[in-house]
Amino acid sequence: MSERFRDPGASWYGLLEEEILVRCPRCDGMAAVLPREGGPGRGLFAPRRLLCPACGHVRDWEGDRVGRYDDPEDPYFRLPLWLCSPCRGRTLWAYGRRHLDLLEEYVAARHRERPVPTDGSGHRVPRASAGARTLVEALPAWIKNAKHRDEILRAVARMRATLGAP
């Protein structure tokens, strides 16, 4: 277990630009939602493709709206996330491997450091004017509570076990 966690400043938006693991609507296997090159939109609104390696199901998304990104479903196709586990009467979830790693590192650490907000030139700025919160800062209180550490880490291990080899 790591003694120290330093918030890397990851954002929800950053996680959405990576692979999102979901349940395939056809076979219920593990499928991936990936950014797709070309087409209209960029970043959050870049076209996405759903791919299932188990059954070959493919579906494309292009739009100017995404769903909520604080629920255990992907914000593009609205499919249930693959990485979900019951924990403390709630659902612990992650979009993909990096999100799961970040949760595990944060929860396992005995000391947790927040990022120091800076302006574009590296100068510190007051927290209130720092803008959007990081993914770690936006975690619910029940995940941040150290007394839940062991139970949350068991849920993370259950989710990781569904991934198989990387």
- Per-residue pLDDT tens digits for 86-96: 999 999 999 99
Mean pLDDT of 80-104: 96
Each as own residue / partner, the long-range contacts of residues 83-87 (CB below 8 Å, 24 or more positions apart, any chain) are 83/21, 83/159, 83/162, 83/163, 84/159, 85/155, 85/156, 85/158, 85/159, 86/155, 87/151, 87/152, 87/154, 87/155
For 6-10, 31-35, 155-159, which range has the lowest pLDDT when averaged over its residues?
6-10
87 contact partners, CB below 8 Å, separation of at least 6: 151, 152, 154, 155
Task: Indicate the pTM of the whole model.
Answer: 0.85
pLDDT tens digits, one per residue of 16-73: 888 999 999 999 999 999 998 766 666 788 899 999 999 999 999 988 777 776 679 9
- pLDDT for the residue numbered 61: 93
Residue with more model confidence, 79 or 44: 79
DSSP 46-114: S-EEEE-TTT--EEEE--S----SSSSB-TTT-PBBSEEEEETTEEEEESSHHHHHHHHHHHH-SEEEP
Q: How far apart are CA 48 and CA 140, in angstroms?
A: 28
How far is Cα of residue 48 from the mean position of the Cα atoms in its chain?
16
